[in-house]
Structure 1
Amino acid sequence: MVISRVTQSMLSDRSMSRLQSSLTRMGEIQEHLSTGRVLNRASDNPGDAATAMRLRAAVNAQQQYARNAEDGQGWLDSLDSTLGTAGDVVRRARELGSQGVNGAMSQQSRESLAVEVDQIRTGLLASANTSYVGRPVFGGTTAGSKAFTETAGVVTFAGDTNPVNRTVADGVTIDVSSSGPAAFGPDGDNVFDHLTALSAALRSGDTAGIQAGISALSGDGDRLVVARAGVGARTNAIEAAATKAGDTELSLTNSLSEIENADLPKTLMDLKMQETAYQAALAATARVLQPSLVDFLR
């Protein structure tokens, strides 16, 4: 049987080492309380730190999706409002044309109707050039400031038909634009041409021309309704995506909090227990480090 010899020096070294460990642990708990976090550096818990980094990246992604959805919602709201107004004024132009078909109407009265049609055309052109954050909503990805331009009384499309996509979820993109020609008609046969023709027919009293204008505007109105319905469907989709992004962000944030944040009541209890243990260790060490016989013989 081998008996190990324990010296006063060994007892002192072990006691001091345990005291230091206890003090270090108490310092860690105090740091958790002061910062409110159990993860203050990667070395605190490498595994949890790696998980927290992945969660934080996922949270940032969801926040970006939410911002994209908010921007897309702005585009779609502008489109919906503009298409609604355009549909109303085209309907008004048809009503004016219907009034002008009356053969008993005086030239002065037809002139008044034509003037109002001209005003409708001017207002509709301004609506077709509606912009959101400096970009024409019917112009696609064009760098220009207008979707439609007018030269010598003829309105033509100046943008492009490329989609304006917003990524609102992983692998999910939504086109938040509406093609100018799809909403207002192709060059040479658009709603502006039809309004011009109707105005001229009203001034000249051309009943056949007025009826042709009314028919053409009926098609323009239908086209605007279809375009607005498409905007409504995409609005619903982007609202759903925004809600999902917000819910996912909240869930990820809660998971991140569980990993990073300290449970304050539990941490306070741990600190009290550690303080008690440290005080007990100090008392025990004081007894171990009492003067030895050699000290008394000096």
Structure 2
Amino acid sequence: MTIVATSTSAFYERSRANMKDLRLKAESLQAQVGSGEKLSRSSDDPVAAARLRTLSRLEKLATIDTSNADRASADLSLADSAMSNMSTAIIRAQELATQAASTTLTDDQRAGIATELDEIQKDLLALANSRDSNGHALFGGESSGNAYEFDASGNATYIGTGNSQSLPIGDGQTMDSSMTGPQIFEFTDANGNTTDVMATIKALSEALKGGSTDPTGSANDALASLKSGLDTLSTAQTVVGTRLAWLDTVAERNTNLSELRANEKSDLGGVDMTEAIASLQETLTILQASQASFTKLAGLSLFNNLS
């Protein structure tokens, strides 16, 4: 009788254990199908879980780098547009200086040219005070206010910082999001003195208003300086264009790396839905069959008679 009782108890324990294992497997498969993730806890696969944490951390850092790169690209595009307008203004100043170099002009005609030069100087200052994507000074370095202002004598004075804001764009690389005013306006004139385009235009305007005994000579001198100023601006614009091209390369690289990380995450922690659903259906079928078999076997009269 003891042997029979022990066998009966073992049958029930074994059946309960088997069905419990099947239920746990079914629940695990249901969770995988619902979440799309293979691992529900780190202990399921410690190595894969550690790698998945690393990939998630890299993805978060990449998101920050991508945001910085997008901001740098937006600001550099704004700088490029502003410098194109500056170039147009300087070219117009060159045209006016060429006219002013003529010895046939009257004083009134020179005064009219001076008036337009004053407007060009104001336009250049307005462009120099353009705003970046955050509303800060585009050409003022790390300053949040204006890059230039007129002093009491009407001279355009730089009031920004010495360096542009630098943004990290990934892999230890940084990118200046613009250029400072002196980098795009300042140059060395024929006498070896450092000056800038706005100062050149102002000096020519004053000479044409009667501030020089030789306005024609002043206009010729201004032409040489304006050419140097335009060359400086063109060089700065080339630098900006090069940075924009590099940011395109960085964006493409970041996209490729993001796809590689996504594929690795899918391989490590992702669920093959077709396989998981098939396994779930199989497990549920086996569980149902086991429950039915247990119920049928447990109800046989043989057990009642042997007990």
Match of 1:41? 41
Higher mean C-alpha displacement, 26-35 vs 37-46: 37-46
2:161 maps to amino acid: D
Q: Match of 1:78, as an amino acid?
A: L
Within 5 Å, give how 1:105-254 maps onto structure 2.
105-132=105-132, 133-143=134-144, 145-152=145-152, 153-185=154-186, 189-204=195-210, 206-254=215-263
Cα 1:265/1:293, change in 2 over 3 Å: closer
- Is 1:15 matched with 2:21? no
Specify whether residues 101 and 8 from structure 1 end up closer, same or farther in structure 2 by C-alpha distance, changes over 3 A only: same
Q: 1:73 Cα shift?
A: 0.3
1:104 and 2:110 matched:
no
8 Å Cα contact 1:141-1:159 kept in structure 2: yes
Whole-Å Cα distance in 1 between the matches of residues 85 and 256 of structure 2? 35
Matched residues in 1 for 2:129 and 2:300: separation? 95
Provide structure 1 residue ranges, at least 5 long, that are not aligned to the other structure: none
- Distance in 2, Cα, partners of 1:288 & 1:11: 10
- Aligned-pair Cα RMSD in Å: 2.4
Residue 183 (structure 1) shift: 0.9
Matched AA of 2:122 = T
Q: Deviations over 1:178-229 (max 9, x none)?
A: 1211211179722111111111222236111111111111111111011111
Residues 198 and 214, structure 1, Cα contact 8 Å, conserved in 2? no
- Quick check: 2:140–2:164 contact (8 Å CA) kept in 1? no
Kept in 2, the 8 Å contact 1:164–1:175? The answer is: yes
Pick from 250, 271, 275 the counterpart of residue 284 of structure 2: 275
Give the letter for the 1:201 counterpart.
A
227-236 or 47-56, which deviates more: 47-56
Moved more, 54-63 or 114-123: 54-63
Displacement of 1:159: 0.8
Task: Tell me, in whole angstroms, the C-alpha distance in 2 between the residues paired with 1:113 and 1:201.
Answer: 11
Q: CA deviation at 1:297?
A: 8.3
Contact 2:139/2:164, CA 8 A, preserved across alignment: no
2:141 aligns to what SS in structure 1? coil
Alpha-carbon deviations, 1:46-70, whole Å to 9, x = none?
3322221111111112222111110
Distance in 2 between residues matched to 1:245 and 1:222, nearest whole Å: 35
Q: For the residues of structure 2 that align with 1:130 and 1:154, how far apart are their CA atoms?
A: 18
Aligned 8 A contact 2:150 2:156 in 1:
yes
Give, as a single letter, the amino acid of the residue that structure 2 aligns with 1:277.
I
Q: Where do 5+ consecutive residues of structure 2 fail to align?
A: 188-192
User: Alignment identity in percent?
Assistant: 27
